[in-house]
Every structure is written in structure tokens, then in C-alpha cells.
Structure 1
């Protein structure tokens, strides 16, 4: 099987490394990662992670919000209006109304309707009629997720001042590793109206008067805007930038046609996570049937009543979150910064000697089910050949059994089970030596 270029483009390259379940991604198509996010996965840098909600001390659940149904609360509307007033100043609205008057119909509509997309873009320099001039020049740009000193300066300030991280634990290498140069391939996809929207990992950069003040790290996938991290300079803390960033990401999902906004994992017993459920309507992914359930009062009551929640087992209705999930960063021990703490899991050490196929991890096929999965045509790649290799061509393949914990075949079977046997044709198991290891 020939590897170079054409043949390799159809695959996402993964290397299995451990349990709850961890894998390293060297190259991912956005469409494949969308499928992983819809199966409880998330990423931090090149590290992919699927949690074991049953065994974790802090079960992680995947959330998503329907941007088309979202209606901002009074508090959220006030945050947007407060920021907009800061940018344009006190005199600009009066002068602009005199020089560029709205029609009576338009003025009435704006007074009665809070259009999120309209209000989010309202203070941007290119959207403001001139003259007059606003107090500040505000711009937002979607840029490649590459490292720059400008971005690192904001990151360093955010980690040190806002998060209280010791300076010695903040590094350029840590910033690069987890928030820059992701394994997602960049591209674009056409929406129903023919408009193309970008795919891949990006930095949404916020600048006031030319100074970078905030960065939203985003994975743009075929059907969602997935929030990876949001960082800002201490000088704008009083403007509630975290809330503004979330609202802008929701607006992006709505106006660009991604529809869904994924805010990252939700941990019910973590008070710092509660802000995520202030954005409604949200849906929570059941870790067993991989279907979406409305995160309403009934769902929150289930979270309150038990450590681990399987919504399908409680007979909870699906709501209107499109139900189907089968058709969203986690450093292990060498994390140099606290920005991935919300996705960390303290149980990885105790699981290192656990066979995934006989574990209690929800949503994972059993050992017996994996015996019937055809993995012979699964492709692999190593440093010893430029070609992709079919698993069945390995000398030891027929001599090993998936039940032989620790064997090559069992490790491959664990990866296939964690990803989903139906995706076996989209995965290349990448055994090539990685830089630094």
C-alpha cells in the first residue's frame, strides 16, 4: 500500500498510549476529530483524551450549545453593551446618530430586538460609520494557531496574574505544546448556501488600539466551533472578557453556519465549571449511548443525585439536540501550565495496568465484541517504511489475539474500541518515532 500524499490524506494518524483513554495525534482531519468530539474525546495539543466517567473522581461530560436557539440572558446582553460603550465612548453614539441616522423602523427594531451577531460586531472598526471617531479602535481577526511573542506575552500575563500560576511554570514551550500548531489540518467546507467556512485550529485575536488583549483558541470543525482555551490580558479583566469571548464564539457558530458551540468538558462538582451552563440551550452527551440530552433541570438533578450519570438509563428524553452522536486538552504528568487543569484526570496512574476491553469504561465495546471486528485492513505506519502497512501483513498479526493484554494486537484493538470500530477505515496507527520521545 503506497503511503505518500494521496493515500495518506484520507487517514487521521493516531498513536495509542494509555488509559482512560489517551492517544497522540500526529495528523487529524477536522471531520474525523468532529466524530471523536461527538464520542466524548477532547484534545490538548496533540494529546487526545477520552475520559472514563465511571472511574473518574470528577466525571467529565461533553456539552454543546445550539447557536440557532441561543438567546442571551440580561446579564450577557449587558456585558456586550458595556464593552461596546467602552470602545465607542460617550460622544460617538450621539454624533453618529446625527451624521448617520437610522430609519424609524430600524431604530425601533434595534430597541426591541437584541441581535447577538449584530451587537457582537457593532464596535469593530470596520463596522463603525466614520466620522465621528470612536474612543478606541477594536479589531478581531482569525489567525493561524502559530506561536508569536505577542500572543505569548498575553498568555504569560494571563497565567501569572489571572490564574496565579508561578512564573517558573509558565514557558514558551508549554504555550507552543498545548495551544499552538495543532494536529488538525486546515481546510474549508461549503455550507448549504455555498459559502465556504474555514476548518482547522485558529487563534481569534482581539486588539484594542493595535494592542493584543485577548486570544480565543478555537477548533473549527465541520459542524461546530469547539472552544479550546481563552486567555486575556489583566488590563481588560473588568470588561468580563471570558463572557464576551464565549458570546463571540457562539455568534461565529451562528453566522458562519457551524451551528454548534462546544465549550469543553463539564464537571458538575467543580464550581468553576458552572459558568458553562449559563449558556442555553445546551445538550450533554451520554457516555454510553453517545446521544445528546437536553441539559435541563431534570438533567442537573440527576447530576446532583449521583457520581456517575447515564441519561439513557434514567429514561430521560432526548430533547431536540439531534439525538444522534454516532453519525470535543489534557496533559498527563508534564503539564507546564494550569490552562489544561479543567480537563485533567487524576486516575490515569491507577489505570495504566487496566485492559480497556475488560474495563468499566462506558461506551466501549466488550472484548467479545472486539473479537468480531475486522481489523485486518487497518493501516499502520512506522519509521521502517515510507508505505502504509495493512495490519494483516504484519508477521505477528495472525499469531496474536486481542485478549493478550499488552500485545500489539490488543493495543491496536483498544485504540479501535476507544475511537469506534466503525471508524477503522479512517485511522492510521502511527508508530513512527515522535520528536522528544
Structure 2
């Protein structure tokens, strides 16, 4: 056994099981939601990354894993390939809405575009530990979050349950060169009576073809002026979509009515702040991303920067700006931020949106941030969402990995090697069992170690009273 080193970071957790059901915030089933839970006193970013990749997620210092084969509304971990992401039509609509507000000062009328909201520790949140006073845990969890909040902000979500939600726009604004070509839907005017088309006139051409040709001509003229003798761009090259960053920059015009700024701060969480030579400049850990409008804070996003991803945790905003779809806007900003960090740390290339809940229609919006994958609940392999959706249409619970021989690569093989923390000493569970003859917690420790896997079980310290 080893004494705890003062200069070494450990993950220390207390496990609370998960046998009892509680109220579901999605389908309102009184006892249909089941999850396993742990209280995290401290946690390294690598341990949390490994846990997230096994279906765990944190809410404050409470870390929980839904029991997907038992719970009424299965919650599947979803990640977006940030480097390959292209904004959809509805995403562009959100950015245009922000741009119009910033440039002209006009707030959209009515409410937001249908972004679903969850309260922090209410129905849709994680299950609380069964062997701890519920009210005490709830107060602690709320206090952990509320001490981070400016007084002017209202908490609206736990797991960034914000939807894109905007209906497809029937019309698009005039496109800039290099943008994705989109058709405008119009009604054709009835032809006037006459002798038919004049055979001496050239045939009519679609407006979008004319615009494409003019762009190509301008590009050829520009290259000629620059002395570029290379071949003119092909049609395929002219169709390259604009990157997300260009759309975001266009939504923040110069000389506008309002000034929207962003600031980033470390925030309190169980994750230990860490720096690595090959990591991002800001380091790893939990951060506030604050949205300031004309010197006034209007929204805050909490994110975890982990070794291979940016994980969205919470998002809350001032209710006066609900019509701006700030939830969707913040997701786009966080994807762009992930792309920025990847330039500093090549392994960091994913954006985790929390859980995808196919059985709840209003929570399917996360599947619109593509390309994306869902985590197989049995093998913990990532599978493209397009392959998963047909299975989820047939069954709420599904094994996504189609390889029948595939299994959990980190399956528990020896619970005796799981580490425990007992009286400030670190020891394998086998040594603890010998020391504590007659201990009756083997079933609980076995369940915990199965859920975190062999690798994490040998690295995370399970607190024993």
C-alpha cells in the first residue's frame, strides 16, 4: 500500500449505486429513470475523458451513467467531428439572426425557436445518491453551480439541452462569392398568351447558373490581374462551402449598433486544471465562456477542455435575449473553439454535446450537428449516427456495434486490482479486503469497477470509510 503523494493528482470518488428509479424529465414517468452515480471530490482530465467515453457525464461534482437498457428515455453519448462540421441551413439562420441584432439592434419578435430547457437539479437532471440525504446533496449541487452565476442570469439547463429548432427557411438571402449555393423558392408567373418562344432569342437560363458563371468570370479576372497563369478553377472548386469561422465572423460586423465580446475564465469544478507541453495554451480543465453585450454579461457557457475533446456542460443566459437562440449560437461558437484548440493540440478534435435522446423528439436536435457519432452502450465503440438511427426507430435501447464478436476492450478482469482510498492510504481492493475481514461491500465495488472499466478502476481512488 502507498501513502498519498502530496504532489500527485488523483481522482477520488464515492460510489452510490443506482438501483432505484426516479422521475424522468422527458416522458414524466415517475419512476422510469435509472442511472448509476458517483460523487467526485477531485478528478483528473484524463480520468474524466475515459469516463465520458464509457457513457458517464458530470453535473457539477456529481458524475452519473444512465442505465440505458432499463431507463425509460435512454441517453446516448454523442460527439461531433468538429473539423468536418459544416453549418446547416438552420444554423446559418441563427447566425444571421445574431448578425441582424448586432448590426441593427433589432431583437427578433416572439420567443426563441423552440430550444428545450431543463432545470439544473430538477426532473431531467441526474439521479442523486440514494444513501445520502437528498436535500443535502441537492443543496450542495445547486450551490456548486450557483456560486458561478452572476445575479442577472437565470439557470436554464443541465446538459446544455438547447435545440437548433429553427424551421427551414423557405428563402435565403443573397449569397456572397464562395458560399454554398442554395435555391430560392418562388412562384412562376403565368405565361401571357402569344405565339410561343422566339426561336431567334437564346434559351432562358436559371438565375443560379448565371450567378455561378459571373463568380467564375470574376475569379478568372482576379487571377489574371495577380499574374496567375494557372488553370481557372473548376466548377467543383467553386462549390467549396465556407468554413464555420467565416459565418461566425460575418455575424459580428464592424461599425454595428452593439458590441458582442467573449471572455474565458477558469471555473470551479472537480476537474483539476492541467497544462501539457503538447496541450492547448489555455490548458485543460473547466472554463466559463462569458458572452458580453455592450459591457453587460448576457450568457455563460461552461465547458470542459479534455485531452481529445471540448465537452459542453451547462449554458445559461439572460431571459431578455431568449429570442436570439443563444443556445444554438453558443454550440456553434464552441465547435469553432474546438477547431481552434485542435491547431494547438492535434488530438483534441471532437465536440461532445452530452446525451442524444432519440425517444424524446424535442431532444433529437443534437443529431443535426454532423458528422457525429453515438457511443455503443455495450462495446463503447463510436458509430456514425446515420447507422444508429434506424435501430433507434425500432427500439429505444440498441447495441450500435454490428460486430457480434466485439466486446468492451477495457472490461473488468480483476476487481482485486481496483484502487481504494482507506485512511489516507492507497491500496488495491484485494489488500483492503484482507485488512477489513468480513467486509460486505464486494458486490458494490464489483459493480463500480465494471462500470468504470479495468483501466480506470486501477487509476481512480474509490473512497472507503
Correspondent of 1:281 among 371, 376, 385: 371
- Given that 1:292 and 1:325 are in contact with CA atoms closer than 8 Å, whether structure 2 keeps it comes out as no
Change over 3 Å in CA distance of 1:2–1:110 after alignment to 2: farther
Please name the residue that 1:61 is paired with. Answer: 76
Q: What is residue 117 of structure 1 aligned with on the other side?
A: 245
**412, 431, 443: which one aligns with 1:410:** 443
Deviation at 1:268, TM superposition (A): 0.8
Distance in 2 of aligned mates of 1:425 and 1:390 = 8
Partner of 2:47: 32
1:271-420 → structure 2 map (5 Å cutoff) = 271-296=361-386, 298-313=387-402, 373=414, 375-376=416-417, 378-382=418-422, 385-394=423-432, 396=434, 399=437, 407-420=440-453
Aligned to 1:81: 96
Deviation at 1:21, TM superposition (A): 1.8
Q: Distance in 2 between matches of 1:243 and 1:143?
A: 21
C-alpha separation in 1, matches of 2:288 and 2:409: 29
Instruction: Give distance in 1, aligned partners of 2:382 and 2:43.
Output: 24
Map Cα deviations across residues 165-213 of structure 1 (whole Å, 9 max, x no partner). Answer: xxxxxxxxxxxxxxxx32011123444xx75342111111101001111
Counterpart position of 1:172: none
Alpha-carbon deviation of 1:122?
A: 5.2
Q: Aligned pair 1:18/2:21, yes or no?
A: no
Q: CA deviation at 1:17?
A: 0.8
Match of 1:235 among 316, 320, 345: 320
In 1: Cα distance, 2:425 partner to 2:436 partner = 21
Corresponding residue to 2:262 among 114, 117, 140: 140
Matches within 5 A, 1:97-176: 113-121=241-249, 133-145=255-267
Q: What are structure 2's unaligned runs of at least 5 residues?
A: 19-34, 106-220, 224-232, 343-347
In 2, Cα distance between equivalents of 1:73 and 1:249: 16
Partners of 2:49 and 2:308 within 8 A in 1 = yes
Report what 2:3 is aligned to.
2
The answer to whether the 8 Å contact 1:39/1:325 transfers is: no
Q: Conserved in 2, the CA contact under 8 Å of 1:189 and 1:222?
A: no
- Could you say which residue in structure 1 is the equivalent of 2:330? 245
Structure 1 position 387, deviation (Å)? 3.6
Matched, 1:261 2:261: no
User: Whole-Å Cα distance in 1 between the matches of residues 428 and 320 of structure 2?
Assistant: 55
> What number of residue pairs does the alignment pair up?
316
The Cα of 1:375 is off from its aligned counterpart by 2.0
Deviation at 1:225, TM superposition (A): 0.9
8 Å CA contact retained: 1:64, 1:283: yes
Question: Structure 1-normalised TM-score?
Answer: 0.65
Question: 2:271 is matched with which residue: 184, 188, 206?
Answer: 184
Question: Partners in 2 of 1:88 and 1:26 — Cα distance?
Answer: 46
Instruction: Please say if residues 25 and 183 of structure 1, whose CA atoms lie closer than 8 Å, have aligned partners that are also in contact.
Output: yes
* Partners of 2:95 and 2:251 within 8 A in 1: no
Between stretches 240-249 and 77-86, larger displacement belongs to: 77-86
Query: Shift of residue 233 of structure 1?
Result: 1.3
Structure 2 length-normalised TM: 0.61
- Structure number with bigger Rg: 2
Q: In structure 2, how many angstroms separate the alpha carbons of the residues matched to 1:268 and 1:141? A: 34
In the alignment, the residues of structure 2 paired with residue 235 and residue 395 of structure 1 have an alpha-carbon distance, to the nearest angstrom, of 57
1:73 CA displacement: 1.0
Aligned CA-pair RMSD? 3.1
Number of the residue aligned with 2:121: none
Unaligned runs of 5+ in 1: 91-102, 146-180, 317-322, 328-364, 402-406, 433-437
The structural deviation recorded for 1:238 is: 1.8
Between the aligned partners of 1:398 and 1:413, the Cα distance in structure 2 is: 16
CA contact (8 A) 1:189 1:197 kept: no
- Once residues 407 and 341 of structure 2 are traced to their aligned partners in structure 1, the CA distance between those partners, rounded to angstroms, is 22
